[in-house]
């Protein structure tokens, strides 16, 4: 039977999700009360200071320029929890809820990162990605992409991306560099072999480029430079969980239904684009 979590239970469920998905910890994560709503990004509020005398009200102009509009889509997560898991782990309802929250958090992290409504295919991963457009597609669609030569290394791409940022972007203390696992390994090797750029360094087992942390995101296919707080992800508190017996698998099937959305403000965001294709000159006739 479907169960709508109470507001207190839903808030705790969302807290468990955020605790178990590194990406959700970094972005501006909103717990929404309705699927269609607006949410302010306060850290983008600039030029709002007023030089006004005592007892005069300072009116706020153009408040919508720091407001994100959500229009949530429904996502459904079906899980089978074998009886052996419940028996061996002495699993309570609370532990089951924690397990569902952890799995859903990782799926939601992937959706927010790589969601693509135009994806083709029928695998579970592709079907999930079709729910909404994620960060990679949002930044790419904004036109903030940087092309690179065919033989460019991850470090070469980093230099091009940093160069393409607005002048004041590097002064943003929360600016980060997100990079896939393979490219991260390549950077690590460059540092270990002492062949890296002097702006690239390792400290406390982390990589930094021009004092900005390089964060490894395993499922990321492109390099992105951004302030994570300029990404607003939202989930509606009305979370439904339904459980039924699944005898073929000797377990219980748990189905979670929730409504989510993501919006990205592309200020201070650039992404690796396409490889530059050099034109090959045709030989002259004769």
Token pair, residue 205, equals: 């087992």
CA distances from 138 to 129, 224, 253, 259 (A): 13, 11, 34, 19
Radius of gyration of the chain (CA): 23
Between residues 165 and 89, which one has the greater pLDDT? 165
Alpha carbons 243 and 265: distance in angstroms, whole number = 38
Q: What is the pLDDT of residues 170-197, one digit of tens each?
A: 888 889 999 999 999 988 888 877 666 7
Domain ranges in the chain are 3-38+69-133+232-260, 144-229+270-275
What would the pLDDT profile of 120-160 be if each residue is shown by its tens digit? Answer: 999 999 999 999 999 999 999 999 999 999 889 888 999 99
β-pair type (145-148, 206-209): unpaired
Distance from C-alpha of 75 to C-alpha of 134, rounded to nearest angstrom: 14
Model confidence at 265, pLDDT cuts 50, 70, 90, reads confident
**How far apart, in whole angstroms, are the C-alpha atoms of residue 275 and residue 178?**
19
Over the stretch 248-264, which tens digit does the pLDDT of each residue have? 878 888 899 999 999 98
pLDDT at residue 131, as a whole number? 94
pLDDT for 132 equals: 94
Residue among 128, 102, 129 at smallest CA distance from 24:
102
Nearest to 38 by CA among 71, 74, 73: 71
Q: What is the pLDDT of residue 57?
A: 79
What confidence score (pLDDT) does residue 283 get?
Answer: 58
pLDDT by residue (tens digit) across 10-21? 888 888 898 888
Neighbouring CB atoms inside 10 A of 65's CB total 12
pLDDT, tens digit (0-9, with 9 covering 90-100), for 56-110: 877 777 766 678 899 999 999 998 888 877 666 566 677 778 888 999 999 999 9
pLDDT at 280: 47
H or E element that contains 255: strand 251-264
Residue 245's DSSP bridge partners are 252
The average pLDDT across 224-233 equals 92
Q: Output the pLDDT for position 1.
A: 45
């Amino acid at each position: 039977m479907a169960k709508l979590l109470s507001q207190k239970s839903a808030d705790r469920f969302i807290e468990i999700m955020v605790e178990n998905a590194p990406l959700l910890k970094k972005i501006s994560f909103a717990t929404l009360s309705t699927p269609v709503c607006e949410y302010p990004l306060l850290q983008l509020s600039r030029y709002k200071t007023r030089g006004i005398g005592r007892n005069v009200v300072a009116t706020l102009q153009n408040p919508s320029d720091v407001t994100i509009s959500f229009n949530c889509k429904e996502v459904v997560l079906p899980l089978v929890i074998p009886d052996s898991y419940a028996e061996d782990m002495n699993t309570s309802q609370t532990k089951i809820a924690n397990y569902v929250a952890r799995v859903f958090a990782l799926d939601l992290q992937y959706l927010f990162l790589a969601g693509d409504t135009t994806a083709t295919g029928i695998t579970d991963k592709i079907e999930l990605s079709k729910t909404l457009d994620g960060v990679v597609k949002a930044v790419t669609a904004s036109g903030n992409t940087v092309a690179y030569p065919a033989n460019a290394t991850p470090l070469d791409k980093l230099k091009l991306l940093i160069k393409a940022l607005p002048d004041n972007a590097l002064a943003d203390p929360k600016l980060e560099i997100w990079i896939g696992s393979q490219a991260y390994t390549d950077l690590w090797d460059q540092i270990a072999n002492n062949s890296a750029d002097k702006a690239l360094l390792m400290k406390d087992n982390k990589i930094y480029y021009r004092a900005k942390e390089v964060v490894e995101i395993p499922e990321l296919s492109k390099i992105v430079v951004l302030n994570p707080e300029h990404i607003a992800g939202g989930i509606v508190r009305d979370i439904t969980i339904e459980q039924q017996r699944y005898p073929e698998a000797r377990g219980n099937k748990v189905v979670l239904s929730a409504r989510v959305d993501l919006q990205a403000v592309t200020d201070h965001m650039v992404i690796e684009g396409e490889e530059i294709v050099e034109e090959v000159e045709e030989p002259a006739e004769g």
